[in-house]
């Protein structure tokens, strides 16, 4: 804990994987003379990885969420239940949607993605024709759509649109949909197709992880799922997904992860973000032009290691988001206290652990230096282990339990 005398205010925007981790880490390492403020319009933390199970009744909202206010109160963190409306980086000031203006000495942006459904006409659950499991409300709407599907089953299309980056989530949802269809005995009336912006199956926006291409292709083959990589969706109509080139895929149920951008408040704040709304970062996860601004998680601007024919974003997974948050937090603490070393982590050194659950089976990927190629090629060497089998399902269940119980208590060790 620091003994610095000049009091500083650290403001964290967003309170999910990246924001919660950063706020707790900064609070743990700074004395009470410094203030930590978290701003987020959601009063609950949601364990997003379990949202894939909500549509099938395997989880309820209460199983995958916990309230933020009691945790922050216990930890001595001020929690503002509002969205940031704008950031003035010259004045070091955040304005909220509830009219509050909060000055900061250090700012950490962890506002995640904006789900840009409007980029594909007819996409998404709000006025469109496809479902999403990217947030709690969408997963609940997908549950109602799944119930309607069970009454009137037909073909299913799952996937990730061009400009999306959360490929693991759509694979997991695909495998779970397939599992549920089989359990319901509907396989003859409900063939499943998978559309993805990835140049090949198992690319994941990372260029592949070990032999992921082979493993994923084998998995889909075994399940009898047609995978359609390199896809760009031009339109979603009621019951039909139209691909670039004119191919039409009929569906009675469809879940498509949309393109991601940064959130409006960040994109529209002068000098803060790139045109997509993502915040540029250096190796300290600090803004290159604004040394008092840091960013972590999906809010960061990380270009794909290699360009792809159809735009496919880099997945900033929950675990990567927490890693970035820890590095940023350590650097904020070093800035504030003037003690300890700053920490640098090149993008090439990010690692990824990904469990793709398939209901009773699945695939586990563990990859180090996962982006150490293409534009990030350096001395770091990518290495990966890929395992398929029922242990993946049990690993996901165990991790969910561990994560929810540790984060509820404010522990972010792993």
Ligand X SMILES: Cc1cc2nc3c(=O)[nH]c(=O)nc-3n(C[C@H](O)[C@H](O)[C@H](O)COP(=O)(O)OP(=O)(O)OC[C@H]3O[C@@H](n4cnc5c(N)ncnc54)[C@H](O)[C@@H]3O)c2cc1C
Say which of 354, 356, 392, 412 is annotated catalytic.
Answer: 354
- Shortest CB 261 distance to ligand X, Å: 12
- Identified binder of ligand X from the candidate list 8, 111, 308, 323, rule CB under 6 A: 111
Is residue 164 within the footprint of ligand X (CB under 6 A)? no
Return the closest-CA partner of residue 349 out of 372, 365, 333, 326. 372
Region 23-82 residues binding ligand X, contact defined as CB under 6 A: 39-42, 48-49, 51-52
- Segment interacting with ligand X (CB under 6 A) among 8-16, 205-213, 283-291, 401-409: 8-16
Which residue lies nearer to ligand X by CB, 192 or 298?
A: 298
Is residue 316 within the footprint of ligand X (CB under 6 A)? yes
Is residue 412 within the footprint of ligand X (CB under 6 A)? no
Q: Which residues contact 83 (CB under 8 A, 6 or more apart)?
A: 39, 40, 41, 96, 97, 265
Pairing state between β 65-67 and 93-96: unpaired
- Identified binder of ligand X from the candidate list 261, 317, 361, 369, rule CB under 6 A: 317
Is residue 159 within the footprint of ligand X (CB under 6 A)? no
Confirm whether 134 is a catalytic residue. Answer: no
CA neighbours within 13 Å on the CB side: how many for 130?
A: 31
- Identified binder of ligand X from the candidate list 17, 72, 104, 167, rule CB under 6 A: 17
Token duo for residue 375: 């534009």
Which residue lies nearer to ligand X by CB, 220 or 352?
A: 352
Which residue lies nearer to ligand X by CB, 84 or 220?
A: 84
Return the closest-CA partner of residue 298 out of 285, 314, 275. 314
Rg of the chain over CA atoms, in angstroms? 21
Say which of 37, 71, 94, 166 is annotated catalytic.
Answer: 166
Is residue 328 within the footprint of ligand X (CB under 6 A)? no
DSSP 8-state symbol, 380: -
Is residue 112 within the footprint of ligand X (CB under 6 A)? yes
Q: Which residues contact 203 (CB under 8 A, 6 or more apart)?
A: 167, 212, 213, 229, 308, 312
Helix (H, G, I), strand (E, B) or coil at 210: coil
Using CB under 6 A as the binding criterion, the count of chain residues that bind ligand X stands at 38
- Shortest CB 21 distance to ligand X, Å: 8
Query: Per-residue x/- marks for ligand X, 333-372, CB under 6 A?
Result: ---------------------xx-----------------
Tell me the C-alpha distance between 341 and 53, whole Å: 42
Is residue 298 within the footprint of ligand X (CB under 6 A)? yes
Return the closest-CA partner of residue 18 out of 348, 326, 367. 326
How far from the centroid of its chain's Cα atoms is residue 203's Cα? 17
Task: Name the strands in the sheet holding 248-250, side by side, starting at the edge strand that comes first in the sequence.
Answer: 233-237, 240-243, 248-250
Footprint of ligand X on this chain (CB under 6 A)?
Answer: 13-19, 39-42, 48-49, 51-52, 83-84, 110-113, 133-134, 166, 168-169, 263, 265, 297-299, 316-319, 321, 354-355
């Amino acid at each position: 804990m620091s003994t610095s005398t000049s009091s500083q205010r650290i403001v964290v925007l967003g309170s999910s994987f990246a924001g919660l981790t950063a706020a707790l880490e900064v609070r743990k390492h700074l004395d009470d003379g410094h203030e930590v403020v978290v701003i987020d319009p959601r009063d609950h933390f949601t364990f997003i990885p379990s949202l894939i199970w909500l549509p099938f009744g395997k989880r309820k909202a209460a199983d995958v969420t916990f309230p933020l206010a009691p945790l922050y109160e216990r930890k001595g963190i001020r929690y503002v239940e509002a969205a940031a409306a704008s950031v003035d980086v010259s004045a070091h000031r955040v304005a909220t949607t509830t009219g509050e203006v909060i000055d900061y000495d250090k700012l950490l942006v962890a506002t995640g993605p904006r789900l840009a459904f409007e980029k594909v006409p007819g996409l998404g659950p709000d006025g469109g024709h496809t479902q999403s499991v990217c947030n709690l409300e969408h997963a609940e709407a997908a549950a109602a759509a799944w119930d309607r599907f069970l009454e009137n089953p037909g073909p299913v299309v799952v996937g990730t649109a061009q400009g999306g980056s959360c490929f693991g989530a759509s694979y997991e949802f695909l495998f779970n949909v397939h599992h549920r269809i089989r359990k319901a005995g509907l396989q003859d009336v409900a063939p499943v197709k998978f559309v993805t912006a990835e140049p090949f199956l198992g690319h994941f926006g990372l260029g592949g992880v070990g032999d992921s291409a082979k493993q994923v292709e084998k998995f889909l083959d075994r399940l009898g799922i047609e995978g359609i990589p390199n896809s760009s969706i031009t339109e979603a109509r009621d019951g039909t997904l139209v691909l670039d080139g004119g191919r039409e895929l009929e569906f009675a149920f469809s879940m498509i992860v949309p393109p991601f951008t940064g959130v409006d408040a960040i994109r529209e704040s002068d000098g803060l973000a790139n045109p997509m709304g993502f915040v540029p970062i250096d190796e300290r996860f600090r803004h290159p032009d604004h040394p008092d601004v840091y960013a972590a998680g999906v809010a960061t601007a990380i270009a794909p290691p290699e360009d792809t024919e159809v735009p496919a974003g880099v997945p900033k997974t929950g675990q990567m988001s927490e890693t970035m948050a820890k590095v940023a937090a350590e650097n904020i603490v070093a800035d504030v206290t003037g003690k300890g070393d700053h920490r640098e982590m090149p993008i090439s050194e990010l690692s990824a652990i990904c469990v793709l659950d398939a209901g009773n089976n699945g695939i586990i990927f563990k990859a180090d230096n996962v982006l150490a190629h293409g534009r990030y090629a350096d001395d770091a060497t990518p290495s990966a282990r890929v395992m398929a089998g029922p242990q993946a399902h049990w690993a996901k269940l165990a991790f969910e339990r561990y994560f929810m119980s540790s984060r509820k208590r404010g522990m972010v060790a792993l």
